[in-house]
Chains A and B, each alone.
Chain A
Amino acid sequence: MEVSSDKEYIYTSTELDRYEGRIIEELKTNSQESIPDPAAWLDEELKRNILLTSVDAVINWARRSSLWTAICFPACCAFEFIAAMGPRFDLSRFGMDIMRASPRQADLMITAGTLTWKMAPNVLRIYNQMPEPKWVIAMGACAISGGIFRSSYSVVPGYNRIIPVDVYVPGCPPRPEALIYAIQMLHKKINNTPVLPDLPQLMQKGK
């Protein structure tokens, strides 16, 4: 195998640590403002009078009835999510019993736990690997705004600095019933999403 001179090869773990440290610092300087919610974008489209057809209704029904979650469980809220998947608050009656390890097969990311700057590039990578359409539920106070740890030196104040969030669930941790209510709210949002592409807007983006 030849070693080409333009690529950077990393051999020791210290070099790997420094490389990852540079990525984290770069992400930190680029994420000083929060990303606006996708619902704001939806309102602009509805203003342009797009009607939802029956094709939309069928496709949206299929999408909301089988949301598969990508794994992103840093901290304590993870255990309320796991309890929601447990035998008492059964999430598989909503079609969500699959918790696949691969983000390529997922369309919902429930972020359950505090996000730190060290973990942020990994969460962004998982989010980018999910195919469209995808939704994010921010679960818990730490995911909404940093929660009880907001004044700490290594905590990101909310997931919406890194990825766009659709539904916010308050609580510390939110009860499984609250999480199920949030998932139903997301179902309502999915019902209102137009599926067929808006040709004028696509032409604009192409330019």
Chain B
Amino acid sequence: MTVPLAIKEIASQIEKKYPGSIEEAAQNSLVVKSDSLLAIAGYLKDTEGLKFDYFNYVTAVDYYTYFEVVYQLTSLEFNHTVILKTRCYNRENPAVPSVTGLWQGADFQEREIFDLMGIRFEGHPNLKRIFLWEGFQGHPLRKDYLQ
């Protein structure tokens, strides 16, 4: 049975290593600041006892004042999982670092989020529209998209 890890323990572990990077440790998910996202993701991937090597998905949700990018990671060895989130408060040019260096599976999914939501991923090797054609105006999945 895949066990969701206790967020409080991971939060305290990460707080010791990277102080000031956690925004909120909710009941099911861990919200971090976007500039320390890469460091924390690398820490989660490589540390003994955590070893999150399998990347489930990345998606983005538009809450009217901010965007939230949601990642879910699983460890095949220890059979536990964690949900990691980060928020962008900038509506004009939202930007988040890309995790394609750590997990290659994030490649197409980050392009999809850029295409449909407009969030830029810094460090992505090939960030361009994937589902809609070049020249399409706007980002359809945003809440304020007018047809």
The answer on direct contact between A and B (beta carbons under 8 Å) is yes
- Interface of A with B (CB < 8 Å)? 14, 17-18, 20-22, 24-25, 117-118, 153-154
Identify which of A14, A25, A153, A154 contacts B135 (C-beta below 8 A).
A25
Residues of B within 8 A of A21 (CB): 133-136
Say how far A202's CB is from chain B's closest CB, in angstroms: 40
Chain B nearest Cβ from A13, distance in angstroms: 9
Q: Are A17 and B132 in contact (CB under 8 A)?
A: no
CB-CB under 8 A for A117 and B140, given A14-B128, A17-B128, A153-B147: no
A17 touches B133 (CB 8 A): yes
In the complex, chain A residues whose CB is within 8 Å of the CB of B145: 153
Question: How far is it, in angstroms, between the C-alpha of A105 and the C-alpha of B130 when the chains are bound?
Answer: 33
Asked if A17 contacts B147 (CB within 8 A), the reply is no
Write the B94-137 contact mask toward A (1 if CB under 8 angstroms, else 0): 00000000000000000000000000000000001101111110
**Besides A18-B135, A21-B135, A154-B132, 20 new A-B residue pairs in contact (Cβ under 8 A), listed by A number:** A14-B128, A17-B128, A17-B129, A17-B133, A20-B134, A21-B133, A21-B134, A21-B136, A22-B135, A24-B133, A24-B135, A25-B133, A25-B135, A117-B133, A118-B132, A153-B140, A153-B145, A153-B147, A154-B131, A154-B140
> Please, which residues of chain B bring their CB within 8 A of the CB of A153?
140, 145, 147
Residue among B131, B133, B140 making CB contact with A20, cutoff 8 Å: B133
The CA of A21 and the CA of B134, in the complex, are separated in Å by 5
Q: Do B132 and A18 have beta carbons less than 8 Å apart? A: no
Residues of B within 8 A of A24 (CB): 133, 135
Q: Give chain B nearest CB distance to A116 CB in angstroms.
A: 9
CA distance A21 to B130 in the complex (A): 12
Interface residues in chain B, defined as those with a beta carbon under 8 Å from any beta carbon in chain A: 128-129, 131-136, 140, 145, 147
A154, B138: Cα distance in complex, Å: 12
A153 to B145, CA, bound (A): 10
* Minimum CB distance partner of A16 in chain B: B134
- Give A199 to B128 CA distance when docked, in angstroms: 54
Q: CA A63 – CA B5 in complex, angstroms?
A: 68
Least Cβ distance of A190 to chain B in Å? Answer: 37
* A residues in contact with B140, CB < 8 Å: 153-154
* Chain A residue at smallest Cβ distance from B147: A153
**How many angstroms from the CA of A20 to the CA of B129 in the assembled complex?**
13
| B147: chain A residues within 8 A (beta carbon) | 153
| Cα A118 to Cα B131 with chains together (Å) | 9
Chain A hits for B133, CB < 8 A: 17, 20-21, 24-25, 117-118
Cβ contacts under 8 Å, B132 to chain A: 118, 154
User: Which B residues lie within 8 Å of A18 (CB)?
Assistant: 134-135
User: Min CB distance, B120 to chain A, in Å?
Assistant: 16
- Measured in the bound complex, the distance between the Cα atoms of B133 and A24 in whole Å is 8
Which chain A residue has the least Cβ–Cβ distance from B129?
A: A17
- For the complex, give the distance between the alpha carbons of A25 and B133 in Å: 9
A20–B134 alpha-carbon span in the complex (Å): 8
Residues of B within 8 A of A154 (CB): 131-132, 140
Give Cα A15–Cα B63 distance, bound, in whole angstroms: 34
Task: Determine which residue in B132, B134, B140, B145 has the highest number of CB atoms from chain A within 10 A of its CB, and name it.
Answer: B134
Bound-complex Cα distance A153 to B132 (A) = 10
The residue of chain A having its C-beta at the shortest distance from the C-beta of B138 within the complex is A153
Chain A residues with CB below 8 A from B131, complex form:
154
A164–B92 CA distance with the chains assembled, in angstroms: 43
